[in-house]
Amino acid sequence: MEWRIPLADIDFDSEEEAAVLKVIKSRWLTMGAMTQAFEEEFAAYTGAGHAIAVANGTAALHLACMVIGLKDGDEVIVPSLTFVATANAIRYTGAIPVFADIESEQDLDISVRAIEQKITERTRAIMVMHYGGYACDMPAITKLAREKGLAIIEDAAHAIGSEIDGRKMGVWGEVGCFSFFSNKNMTTGEGGMVVTNNDAMADKLRILRSHGMTTMSWDRHKGHAWSYDVVELGYNYRIDEIRAALGRVQLSKLDRNNERRRILSALYREQLQELVPTIVVPFNETRGISACHLLPILLPAGSDRLRFMEYMKSHGIQTSIHYPPIHKFQAFAEVGLGAGDLPVTENVTGRQVTLPLYPTLKEEDVTVVVQAVQGAFHQT
Ligand SMILES: Cc1ncc(COP(=O)(O)O)c(C=O)c1O
């Protein structure tokens, strides 16, 4: 379908085209100098000691779970209001996701109080997700984790460039994970990054990313190595040079594009004000600076959400849902991971709708979307 206003759009131009062409002409496509440069630039941007580029955000999360040593039966506290990959990554290691509620209708991030209530003697880690780019309460969560001896993994897929007190999301815990999927604030199509300040974890992440091998094709190509050992049960989670090249250009545009997202989000909030309190616009107050990945709204309780989304569609406007709660999915419920006790999550997830937001969205488009939202309330 041709949308008049899509949910998300990419900001690619001749810079990305030239970067890809340069890689193709270089005739070196697998992980090499371009990936190394991307990693160095991403580490510098986030302030992390190390950045390890991987095939996608899910691979980043899986490796993060492996490198903190999760094993069968360990518990990891995680929100249910996130993309399923967040919890899947925990399950890949045999560990158990323990779902904690979100804070409120205004603050869709995991609640610090709820985390505290879910801690048991089997808890090994807290995995946070910065919903829509709006940072979780990392000062409080890091303090709690330190007191209880727990590791922190950040799913920062939405929060590339978000920060609190000048410290970027992704570098608050042991390991931070990013996705460069095509709807993210910067994209390589598929792609991801793991960041850490821990040297030993960084070494292990690099090895796990490529079959547990001690050397890579690039080392051998450069004549630095002839053979290798395999020292871990690793995976092929490598990125390639084409995507690394795209990532470098996208990273150079990130601050400008995030600023544009913030301007558009503020405009949405201003124009949607007329519909408040009929609708809720979460995150009126933010902790630090948001990357404004999503613009979520909550419809009134009892609304027909699908009818609302159909109405928006009939006006050429694409909307989405972030997210169906994980604990309600069959693959979680049938293995005993469907336990509720998440009243705020369950209240919000039936009412949430995401409106279009991307850097090339025009101010007039925001007005068109808001007018359609208003129209929907007169119709539905
Ligand atoms: C919150 C969150 N976590 C994890 C992922 C997984 O990333 P990927 O699609 O790159 O595997 C995504 C995005 O798709 C996401 O939005």
Q: Is 184 a catalytic residue?
A: yes
Nearest Cα to Cα of residue 244 among 191, 281, 288: 191
Q: What is the pLDDT of residues 278-287, one digit of tens each?
A: 999 999 999 9
Could you tell which of 56, 179, 235, 320 is best to mutate to test the pocket of ligand 1, judged by most ligand atoms within 8 Å of the CB?
179
pLDDT computed for residue 246 by the predictor: 98
Nearest Cα to Cα of residue 60 among 183, 154, 200: 154
DSSP annotation of 287 reads S
Question: End-to-end distance of the chain based on CA atoms, in angstroms?
Answer: 23
pLDDT computed for residue 378 by the predictor: 78
**Residue 184, token pair as written in the block:** 């993210």
pLDDT computed for residue 372 by the predictor: 98
Distance CA 370, CA 15 (A): 33
Nearest Cα to Cα of residue 220 among 29, 23, 32: 32
pLDDT computed for residue 1 by the predictor: 79
Stretches where the chain sits below pLDDT 50 are none
pLDDT computed for residue 225 by the predictor: 78
Ligand 1 atom at shortest distance from the alpha carbon of 82: 1
pLDDT computed for residue 379 by the predictor: 67
pTM of the model: 0.97
Q: How far is the CA of 82 from the centre of ligand 1 (A)?
A: 9
